[in-house]
Amino acid sequence: MNMRMLSVTSIVAGMTMGVLMGCGSVGAPIPPENVGVNLTIERQKKLELLEEKQREDAAEVETTEPQPDSMLQGQDVNLPPLQPVGTR
């Protein structure tokens, strides 16, 4: 009797595992609005708009910074004074 119950239990467990694996992943279905090419294209367009806006903002900041004096070239460029790095 014990061998028969073990056999029936293993058959039922095997069939259950086979059905679950045959059905695919277990869980809530994914709505089609969250999957596909259109969603990816929309996401990329939003990212491109954000990147372009950041580039424009950076360009505005660069234009508001003072430009270096065009008369200074080569060795004539103003450098900060040298300070000793360490002492011996």
With bands split at pLDDT 50, 70 and 90, how would you rate the model's confidence at 52?
very high
Indicate the domain borders of the chain.
35-63
Whether the predicted pLDDT of 72 surpasses 60: no
The torsion of the CA quartet 17, 23, 25, 27, rounded to 10 degrees, works out to: -100
pLDDT value at residue 53: 93
For the full predicted model, state whether its pTM sits above 0.75: no
Query: The tokens of 88 are what?
Result: 């011996």
Average pLDDT score over residue span 49-53: 94
Tokens of 24: 């695919």
CB 22 within 8 A of CB 14: no
pLDDT-derived band of residue 65, with 50, 70 and 90 as boundaries? low
Q: How many angstroms separate the CA atoms of 46 and 25, rounded? A: 31
